[in-house]
Amino acid sequence: MTPEREGRLAFRAGAVSGRWRGRDLAGAVTLFVEHDEVVVRLEATGDEVAVALPQLTGAAWRAGVLWLHLPDEALQLSDGESLDRAWFAVSQRACALPEVARAMRALRAESARHAMARERFFAPLLQARRRLEGDEPVDWRVASFDADALAERLRGTLAALALERHAERPPHRRALEAGLLDACDALFAQLRRVSDAGRAVHEAPDAHRFVEWRAWAAQLRALFAHADQAWQAMTEVLAEGDRGHFPTFER
C-alpha cells in the first residue's frame, strides 16, 4: 500500500478478471482507493475505470482474492501483497459512518432546566455511537451497536428518573414513568428497526453487504432524530410532573 497523494491509496494486483462497468477486464492492474471512488488502472494500456463508492454493493476478501461487486457485475483481483488491506480500505470508505448528532436540537439547548436528565437520557445513545468509530470491520461495528441492549438501558434510565423524583409516592412515580415511556414510543419502535437492519447486514451475502449497511445507517440516522423528538416530548412530561399534573398522562 502506497499513498500517492493525500487521501489516495494504491494497491497492485498481478491478475484481475471479471466484468466491470460493462467491460471485461484481465491482466495486471493498480487499484486506487479514493475518498469517494475506486479506480482500476489496467497496466497494459493505462486505461482507468472509475466507480463511485456509493455504487459498490459489496466487497470481500476470500482465499487471497479481493472481490468488488456492482449490481450484476463483479471483479476479482489476486496476486497482490496488500489486497487484504485494499479490502479493508474499500470497506471503511464505502461504509463511512453517518453524522447523527449535529442537527439534534436537544444537544444544542442552552437551558439548564432538566439538563442532568437530558445528559443521562442521551448518554447511552452517544456512547453507542462512539463505539462505532473504531477501525473494526463492518459486521463488528454493526454488532457493537446493540439496539436491544440500548432499549433496555433507556427504559432503565426513564425508570430511574421517575424513582428519583417520587421515591416515596409510588402512584406519582408510576404515572411519571408511564408518561416518559409514552414520550419514547416512537424511539423504541425505531430501535427495533435498527436491530432488524443490523441483522440484515450480518445475514447479507458479500455482494450485497454494502447495500444493507447503507440501509442500516439510514435507520441509525432516523434513530437519533427520533431521540431528539422523544426528548422534546419528555421535557413536557417532566414539566407537567414538576407542576404535579400527573392525571394528564397517568394510565
| Domain limits, the chain | 2-94, 105-248
| pTM of the predicted model as reported, rounded to 2 decimal places | 0.86
Confidence class for position 244, pLDDT limits 50, 70, 90: low
CA–CA gap between residue 81 and residue 101 (Å, rounded): 39
Q: In CATH, what is the architecture of 2-94? A: Roll (2.30)
**pLDDT tens-digit readout, 49-75:** 999 999 999 999 999 999 999 999 999
Confidence of residue 240 (pLDDT cuts 50, 70, 90): confident
Locus of grid cell 439548564: 112
